[in-house]
Structure 1
C-alpha cells in the first residue's frame, strides 16, 4: 500500500515539474518579435495625417459641445449627460452653472445658434495635446427667454461675436472642449 502512494506522489511531482515550462511560456509576458519592416511602418506615422485627425476630432467635439449646450439650455437641464460627452472642466462647470442660473430665474434658451469654426493651432507635442478653435458665433436667432411666456430676457440680445475654444486630448483618447470664451467686444 505504501509503495502505491509513493508511486502516485512521484507521478504527481513529475507531472507538476513537466507542466512548469508550459505554464511559464503562457505567462503573457513574452515578446513576439515582428519583422523589421512591420515595426518601421508603425513608427513612421505621417504627421499630416495625425494633424488632420486631431483637427477633425477637435471640430467634432466643438460641434458636439454647441449642440449639447443648446439641447441642455432648451430643456433647462444643467446635468444633461450629453454635456459630459463633449466638455471637460473648467468649461463644463461654467456651462452647467449658466444653465442652472437661467433655470433658477425662470429662463431658458431657444432658437438657433449659427457656427462656422476653424482650427487656428494644433499642438500635438504638448502634454496633453491641444487644438485651438476660433469661431464667429451668430446668436441673433438664439435667445434667452422666460419659460412662462417666451418673452426675451432684457439685455440678452444676440449678435455675431468672435469665440475661441480649446480642445484637449485626454488619456482615454477623447478630445473634449475644456476652455472657451465669447469675446462680446469683438464683433465678426
Structure 2
C-alpha cells in the first residue's frame, strides 16, 4: 500500500521541478574558449551579439520544450535534454524528473514563458548570454500519475526565472545554469 508523502516533500519537489531544477547563478564550465576562426570573419560586434542572442534564446526555448516533454513522460534520460542542457543544470533537471517519477508523479498542463536577453558577454571565456524570464506555471501541475490528482502543495505560480546560455567549443549554445525565483512575482 502506497502512503501519501507529506506536503512539504511535494513543495520541495515543486520548487526543484519548476523548470530550472536548482538555484544559483554563475557556474560556468572550464572549457576552452571558442577559436577566433569559429567566428564569421566579417561579422561586426553588433552582428555577433545579435547572433548570440538569437542562438541563446533558441537554446532556451528548446530547453523548456525538452524539460516539459521529459517531465510529462517521466523520462530523465530523454535525449532532447542533452541537446539543450549542460551540467550542472542537466544533472539537476534529471534528478528532479527521476524523483517525481519515483514518487508516482508527473507534470501536466501548460507552462508559459516570456524570455528576454539581459546581457551578452562574448569576451568571457566561454562566451555567455544571460536570460531573464517571467514563467507562468499556474497551469503546469504536478499530479499523481495513477489518478491524475494534483499533488498537495504543488500549486504553480507566476515568477521570475533566470538562465545562462554558454557557447561550448563545438559552437553550440547550451543552458547550463538556471534559477527559479519563486519569491519574485512578475
Distance 2:102 2:41 in 1: 54
User: 2:174 — aligned with what?
Assistant: 176
Shift of 1:78: 0.2
Distance 1:106 1:45 in 2: 51
Distance 2:85 2:41 in 1: 31
User: 1:109 — aligned with what?
Assistant: 107
User: 1:150 — aligned with what?
Assistant: 148
Distance 1:54 1:156 in 2: 35
> Structure 1's 79 and 43: CA in aligned 2 closer, same or farther, altered over 3 A?
closer
By relative contact order (CA 8 Å, sep 6+), the higher-ranking structure is: 2
**1:19-62 deviation digits (Å, cap 9, x = unpaired):** xxxxxxxxxxxxxxxxxxxxxxx744211111010000000000
- The structure that has the greater radius of gyration is 1
Specify which of 87, 90, 99 is matched with residue 88 of structure 2. 90
Shift of 1:178: 0.1
Specify which of 53, 75, 79 is matched with residue 81 of structure 1. 79
Unaligned runs of 5+ in 1: 1-41
**What TM-score does the superposition give when structure 2 sets the normalisation length?**
0.78
SS of the residue 2:51 aligns to: helix
Unaligned runs of 5+ in 2: 1-39
Displaced runs of 4+ in structure 1, greater than 2 A? Answer: 42-45
Specify which of 115, 118, 124 is matched with residue 116 of structure 2. 118
**What TM-score does the superposition give when structure 1 sets the normalisation length?**
0.77
Structure with bigger helix share is: 1
Distance 2:99 2:42 in 1: 50
> Structure 1's 151 and 128: CA in aligned 2 closer, same or farther, altered over 3 A?
same
Distance 2:57 2:91 in 1: 21
Map of 1:1-188 to 2, 5 A cutoff? 43-188=41-186
Give me the CA root mean square deviation: 0.9
> Structure 1's 83 and 43: CA in aligned 2 closer, same or farther, altered over 3 A?
closer
Q: Aligned pair count?
A: 147
**1:167-186 deviation digits (Å, cap 9, x = unpaired):** 00000000000000000110
Distance 1:87 1:183 in 2: 19
